[in-house]
């Protein structure tokens, strides 16, 4: 693994074949921290959202490779907090220093299993939601709950609540969490000085594990 070059090399033990080399935009070894990954990947994306662009981070890979850890992380040590809590912290840090501007930040949490969408923060977690299309706001999920997020009500509370219902749902229906897509959706609206100057979205997808 060469993090500086963004490349990794794979060799088969006891094989005479030469190692295979793969090059990516970035490559991180097991000693890399989520802080380092966020600074390289998440930070510029969130900056772009605050400037008026939509942004998405999509975690994909084999089961057990660390997708959930990278996206959600752990609270202790602080260096291993995941991309999602770091992104919300980044958003609020920028909002607090913005002069003469007010923002509204809202968050939703949902899962997709067997092409069925369920709200992990809604009152009825078994109710299937429908995907709709609106001429102005585009594709949206009808009936999906959305909560205002404040700095002192950190999004980790919403994430913990959503994941608790996700595990209960998986147990009730005997489904496997490794086959479920989890989406954390964050909308940022600028309210002042000009209302609704932009309403941009930052989405974090946690996909099911791939099988080889």
Q: Determine contact, residues 162/119, Cβ cutoff 8 Å.
A: no
Q: Determine contact, residues 157/75, Cβ cutoff 8 Å.
A: no
Q: Determine contact, residues 119/127, Cβ cutoff 8 Å.
A: yes
Q: Determine contact, residues 58/208, Cβ cutoff 8 Å.
A: no
In a structure prediction context, what are the per-residue pLDDT tens digits for the chain, which is 212 residues long? 888 888 889 898 888 889 999 999 888 888 888 889 999 999 999 999 888 888 999 888 888 888 888 888 887 787 788 898 899 889 989 888 888 888 888 888 888 888 889 888 887 777 889 989 888 778 888 988 888 887 755 555 666 665 554 444 444 444 444 467 888 888 888 776 665 555 677 888 877 665 44
- Domain match, 51 and 123 both: yes
In the prediction, which pLDDT does 40 show? 93
Number of domains present in the structure of the chain: 2
Q: Domain containing 131 — which CATH number?
A: 3.40.850.10
Domain assignment present for 211: no
How far is residue 53's CA from residue 68's CA, in Å, rounded to a whole number? 25
The parent domain of residue 24 ranges over 1-32
Positions at the binding site: 61-68
In the prediction, which pLDDT does 174 show? 44
In the prediction, which pLDDT does 39 show? 93
In the prediction, which pLDDT does 168 show? 46
Domain assignment present for 17: yes
- Domain match, 65 and 53 both: yes
- Domain match, 22 and 84 both: no
- Domain match, 109 and 79 both: yes
- Domain match, 91 and 180 both: yes
Positions at the binding site for ATP: 61-68
- Domain match, 18 and 50 both: no
With CA atoms as reference, report the closest residue to 124 among 74, 168, 70, 67.
168
In the prediction, which pLDDT does 160 show? 62
**Percent of the chain predicted with pLDDT > 90:** 9
């Amino acid at each position: 693994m060469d993090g500086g070059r963004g490349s990794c090399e794979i060799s088969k033990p006891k094989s005479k074949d030469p190692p295979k080399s793969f090059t990516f935009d970035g490559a991180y070894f097991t000693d890399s921290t989520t802080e380092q990954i966020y600074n390289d990947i998440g930070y510029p994306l969130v900056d772009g959202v605050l400037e008026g662009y939509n942004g998405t981070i999509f975690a994909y890979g084999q089961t057990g490779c660390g997708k959930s850890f990278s996206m959600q992380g752990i609270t202790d040590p602080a260096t291993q907090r995941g991309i999602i809590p770091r992104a919300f912290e980044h958003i609020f840090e920028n909002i607090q220093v913005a002069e003469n501007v007010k923002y509204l930040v809202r968050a939703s949490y949902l899962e997709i299993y067997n092409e069925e969408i369920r709200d992990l923060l809604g009152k009825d977690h078994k109710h299937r939601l429908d995907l709709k299309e609106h001429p102005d706001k585009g594709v949206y999920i009808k009936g999906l709950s959305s909560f205002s997020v404040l700095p002192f009500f950190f999004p980790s509370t919403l994430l913990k609540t959503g994941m608790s219902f996700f595990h209960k749902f998986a147990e009730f229906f005997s489904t496997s969490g490794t086959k479920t897509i989890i989406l954390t959706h964050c909308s940022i609206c600028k309210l002042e000085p000009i209302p609704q100057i932009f309403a941009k979205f930052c989405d974090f997808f946690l996909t099911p594990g791939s099988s080889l």
